[in-house]
């Protein structure tokens, strides 16, 4: 197995999402990430289903990895007000969980539901986030709003551009609320540069997610490419966020039927190589 030099500073900022190596259980992912010199593991709730918080913490602590994020909360949008309350309660539990496993932030995929104007849904999202601020502050867990590509605006996210996420941050005005910039979702946006600049000024650049956009894309969800295998100017976007004050984790988040079918250690080695090139 290829080991990367631990003194390489860029490796200290590399984190991998558990969904990226979905076939590996948490303990194996943590072991292998640490052995490859990766510094952080962002934990998807699906990866810890059925595990106690202390089991998760023990695995993470034994590996020496940090936890940039618990992924993912949100999904606030439903026409039924009681259901929206239930979803807010669910996010309260996720914030608590994030605090207990020392995750720095909870990523929010804010949700969307067909048949309601997106502007109304964004109002629900604002109400929901505002009602979680006390819990987030108490748990010292940041809330990172992740805009999703407009192809998901029907049922996954009513926040599709950095502009909408930034406006939400400005409306809420809370130091625990910021944005996750995922290159997959925002690379096409002509406002990318100006919005990253504004988010930097707001101290709201919380997370940076890496993968690539395959051409042509064969599946709307599970065909993300390894960095360098698509059309995104990853190096340019990375430079942009860093120039605007971002010094946090570079989180590799790849959902890919193709890569999940591969030997996961070989995939991880490729991730490390490509990361060092981008
Ligand atoms: Zn992401």
CATH code, domain with 86: 3.20.20.150
Place of tokens 């067909």: 114
Taking the centre of ligand 1 as the mean of its atom positions, its distance from the CA of residue 246, in whole angstroms, is 16
| Confidence (pLDDT) at 5 | 42
In a domain, 125, yes or no: yes
Tens of pLDDT, residue by residue over 30-66, are 999 999 999 999 999 999 999 999 999 999 999 999 9
In a domain, 80, yes or no: yes
CA distances (Å), origin 259, targets 214, 222, 265: 13, 10, 11
Q: Model pTM? A: 0.95
Query: 128 C-alpha vs ligand 1 centroid, how far in Å?
Result: 20
Residue 275 has pLDDT above 60, yes or no: yes
Measure 18 CA to ligand 1 centroid, in angstroms: 12
**Residue 95 in this model has a pLDDT that exceeds 90:** yes
Is residue 6 predicted with pLDDT exceeding 60?
no
The rounded Å distance from CA 224 to ligand 1 centre is: 11
In a domain, 3, yes or no: no
Instruction: Please tell me the distance from the alpha carbon of residue 229 to that of residue 212, in angstroms, as a whole number.
Output: 6
Say if 4 falls within a structural domain: no
With tokens 């695995």, the residue in question is 59
Q: How far is the CA of 181 from the centre of ligand 1 (A)?
A: 7
- Whole-number Å distance, alpha carbon 253 to ligand 1 midpoint, is 6
Please tell me the total count of domains within the chain.
1
232 within domain boundaries: yes
User: For residue range 148-178, what is the model confidence (pLDDT) as tens digits?
Assistant: 999 999 999 999 999 999 999 999 999 999 9
Rounded to the nearest angstrom, the distance between the alpha carbon of 265 and the centre of ligand 1 is 22
Q: Cα(188) to centroid of ligand 1, in Å? A: 15
CA of 126 to the centre of ligand 1 (A): 20
Residue 155 sits in which domain range? 11-277
CA of 81 to the centre of ligand 1 (A): 28
List residues bridging with 182 in a β-sheet.
Answer: 209
| CA–centroid distance, residue 209 to ligand 1 (Å) | 5
Does a structural domain hold residue 84? Answer: yes
Tell me, yes or no, whether 6 lies in a domain: no
| 80 has a pLDDT exceeding 60 | yes
Distance (Å, rounded) from C-alpha 236 to C-alpha 208? 13
Domain assignment present for 2? no
pLDDT at position 10 is 84
CA of 160 to the centre of ligand 1 (A): 12
3-state secondary structure the chain: CCCCCCCCHHHHCEEEEHHHHCCCCHHHHHHHHHHCCCCEEEEEHHHHCCCCHHHHHHHHHHHCCEEEEEEEEECCCCCCHHHHHHHHHHHHHHHHHHHHCCEEEEEEECECCCCCCHHHHHHHHHHHHHCCHHHHHHHCCEEEECCCCHHHCCCCECCCCHHHHHHHHHHHCCCCEEEEEEHHHHCCCCCHHHHHHHHHHCCCEEEEEECECCCCCCCCCCECECCCCCCCCHHHHHHHHHHCCCCCCEEECCCEHHHHCCCHHHHHHHHHHHHHHC
Cα 182 to averaged position of ligand 1 atoms, centre (Å): 5
Summarize pLDDT for 128-146 with one digit per residue, the tens: 999 999 999 999 999 999 9
Q: What are the φ/ψ torsions at residue 191 (nearest 5 degrees)? A: -90, 5
Of 38, 18, 28, 30, which is closest to residue 276 (Cα–Cα)? 38
Residue 94 has pLDDT above 50, yes or no: yes
């Amino acid at each position: 197995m290829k080991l990367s030099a631990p003194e390489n500073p860029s490796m200290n900022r590399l984190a991998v999402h558990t969904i990226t190596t979905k076939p590996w259980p948490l303990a194996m992912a943590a072991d292998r990430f640490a052995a490859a010199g990766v510094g952080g593991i962002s934990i998807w709730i699906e990866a810890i289903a059925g595990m106690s918080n202390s089991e998760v913490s023990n695995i993470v602590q034994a590996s020496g990895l940090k936890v940039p994020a618990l992924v993912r909360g949100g999904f606030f949008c439903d026409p039924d007000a009681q259901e929206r309350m239930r979803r807010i309660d669910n996010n309260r539990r996720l914030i608590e969980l994030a605090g207990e496993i020392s995750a720095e932030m909870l990523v929010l995929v804010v949700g969307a539901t067909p048949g309601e104007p997106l502007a109304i849904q964004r109002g629900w999202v604002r109400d929901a986030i505002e009602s979680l601020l006390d819990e987030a502050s108490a748990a010292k867990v940041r809330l990172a709003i992740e805009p999703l590509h407009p192809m998901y605006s029907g049922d996954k996210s009513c926040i599709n551009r950095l502009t909408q996420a930034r406006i939400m941050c400005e409306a809420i005005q809370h130091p625990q609320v910021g944005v996750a910039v995922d290159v997959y979702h925002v690379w096409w946006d002509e406002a990318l540069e100006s919005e990253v600049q504004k988010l930097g000024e707001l101290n709201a650049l919380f997370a940076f997610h890496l993968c690539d956009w395959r051409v042509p894309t064969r599946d709307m969800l599970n065909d993300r490419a390894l960095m360098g295998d698509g059309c995104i100017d990853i190096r340019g976007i990375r430079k942009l966020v860093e120039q605007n004050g971002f010094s946090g984790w570079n989180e590799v988040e790849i959902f890919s039927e193709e890569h999940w079918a591969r030997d996961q250690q070989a995939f991880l080695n490729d991730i490390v190589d490509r990361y060092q090139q981008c």
